[in-house]
């Protein structure tokens, strides 16, 4: 379910997924590719039972931050984000996506 809410989105971002919702900063940011990206995150959250997803996400972000010493590069190298960015233009990806596909991006 898409919700427009400019206050919940961190600066520098246009959307955030918190199961079962996808929050967008503005309606203009809702695109086919961004929807696929966020739906991949929904699948990741469900398969990891939501809370463990966010725990893993934070831990991996901190590790990547130490590794790259740059918050934007660290964010883009989180396995969940790599899977989403690499497949957001593939309209059929969600239909054939296997469980825990993000592990390939570790």
pLDDT per position in the chain (106 positions), as tens? 999 999 999 999 999 999 999 999 999 999 999 999 999 999 999 999 999 999 999 999 999 999 999 999 999 999 999 999 999 999 999 999 999 999 999 9
pLDDT of residue 81: 98
Give me Rg for the CA atoms of the chain: 13
CB atoms within 10 A of CB 57: 19
**Cα gap 51→6, rounded to integer Å:** 23
3-state class (DSSP) for residue 101: helix
Domain parsing of the chain, residue ranges: 2-105
């Amino acid at each position: 379910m898409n919700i427009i809410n400019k206050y919940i989105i961190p600066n520098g971002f246009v959307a955030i997924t918190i199961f079962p919702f996808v929050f967008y900063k503005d309606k203009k940011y809702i695109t086919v590719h961004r929807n696929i990206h966020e739906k991949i995150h929904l699948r990741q959250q469900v398969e990891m039972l939501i809370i463990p997803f966010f725990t893993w996400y934070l831990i991996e972000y901190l590790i990547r931050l130490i590794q790259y010493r740059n918050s934007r590069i660290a964010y883009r190298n989180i396995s969940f984000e790599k899977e989403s960015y690499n497949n957001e233009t593939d309209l059929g990806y969600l239909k054939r996506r296997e469980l825990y596909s993000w592990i390939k991006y570790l």
